[in-house]
Copies of this chain bind each other. A is one copy, B any other.
């Protein structure tokens, strides 16, 4: 009677359990709910549980959500899964949420703002309890949509200029400062900066960190080119522009590891060597970056922990809707490898 068994499994409902156990469905519901079971006699609880087991009952989360108004679903919007920093973030978010019985609805935004809004609308229509956005621009209309729909939202990895929501980011200014101090301590005086996109907090803040640290070291901080996106190709283009504009650079501080890799490519193209001719420091410490040639000195960001922190922040908001929207800074740590050496 296999088909009968599986047919039963497909349609096993609280009602069918209750009938089989000879109780009302509300009683069955309470017997199966660990937080309510104590209100029901031991005897009935066991009968119901046994029957549920026998019929292969699985609570219908959809029906429960409709009734309770909470879906235990969190939407996560990423800019770009191809960028290796987002996988660990997603991982961290998922791990922290899973511990509390929440599941992740994952969507990729892409560059298009309108599309991101459509995605968020879709997630809201699916009645997510909260949102994690890794896509924030410095002033983001997408967040406005979330706020107006009063969906608890946490930004991760990228922040707005003026925080309107809870935010978990790395300490970008400090991270870049440490990178520059490292170069300065190796004797570099003419240091260039590959800045990230101006529309992103990471681009602006790391640039800010660069300028602060250069000034503090008494160095000229004007050798900057801005990359249009965090990619190798843009990094290579920006490096070419930087080297053309500024003669005599001995080091480059990149806003991002991919930009640093683009710099590698451009140096190779010009027959220059890293670190012999030019030292390079990246940012993010993304997976495998320790295996490139030369191994990249970079600023490590604990992406998985950042994701976890973001998820926890969101869970706090869900537990206490009045919790205020604080900005959490994750520490950034310099990892010295082979792409930096003393200035000649």
**Does B10 lie within 8 Å of A149, measured CB to CB?**
yes
Residues of B contacting A264 in the complex (Cβ-Cβ under 8 angstroms): 291
Q: Is A185 an interface residue (CB 8 A)?
A: no
Q: Is A275 an interface residue (CB 8 A)?
A: no
Chain B's nearest CB lies how many Å from the CB of A280? 13
CA gap between A285 and B125 in the complex, in Å: 38
Chain B's nearest CB lies how many Å from the CB of A12? 11
Q: Which of B9, B106, B125, B288 contacts A61 (CB 8 A)?
A: B125
**Does B87 lie within 8 Å of A106, measured CB to CB?**
no
**Does A9 lie within 8 Å of B126, measured CB to CB?**
no
Q: Is A140 an interface residue (CB 8 A)?
A: no
Stretch of A33-41, A91-99, A207-215, A240-248 at the chain-chain interface: A91-99
A87-B81, A91-B108, A287-B84 known; A125 vs B6 contact (CB < 8 Å): no
Residues of B contacting A124 in the complex (Cβ-Cβ under 8 angstroms): 58
User: So how many copies of this chain end up in the complex?
Assistant: 2
Q: Which of B103, B123, B292 contacts A126 (CB 8 A)?
A: B103
Chain B's nearest CB lies how many Å from the CB of A115? 10
Identify which of residues 49-84 in chain A touch chain B, using a CB-to-CB cut-off of 8 Å.
58-63, 65-66, 71, 73, 81-82, 84
Residues of B contacting A294 in the complex (Cβ-Cβ under 8 angstroms): 293
Chain B's nearest CB lies how many Å from the CB of A8? 11
A66-B63, A288-B84, A288-B288 known; A105 vs B107 contact (CB < 8 Å): no
Q: Is A289 an interface residue (CB 8 A)?
A: yes
**Does B125 lie within 8 Å of A60, measured CB to CB?**
yes
**Does B81 lie within 8 Å of A84, measured CB to CB?**
no
Q: Closest chain B residue to A105 by CB distance?
A: B103
Q: Which of B58, B62, B108 contacts A62 (CB 8 A)?
A: B62
Q: How large is the interface on A (under 10, 10 to 19, 20 to 34, 35 or more residues)?
A: 35 or more
CA gap between A122 and B264 in the complex, in Å: 46
List, sorted by A's number, 21 A–B pairs whose CB atoms are closer than 8 Å: A6-B150, A60-B127, A61-B126, A62-B66, A62-B71, A62-B126, A73-B126, A81-B88, A84-B87, A84-B287, A94-B106, A94-B108, A98-B107, A103-B105, A103-B122, A105-B106, A106-B106, A261-B288, A287-B288, A288-B288, A288-B289
- Chain A positions within 8 Å of B, measured between CB atoms, are 6, 9-10, 58-63, 65-66, 71, 73, 81-82, 84, 86-88, 90-91, 94-95, 98, 103-108, 121-127, 148-150, 261, 264, 286-289, 291-294
Known: A62-B65, A62-B66, A62-B126. 12 other contacts (CB 8 A): A9-B149, A10-B150, A61-B125, A73-B105, A81-B90, A82-B287, A94-B108, A103-B123, A103-B126, A104-B105, A261-B291, A292-B293
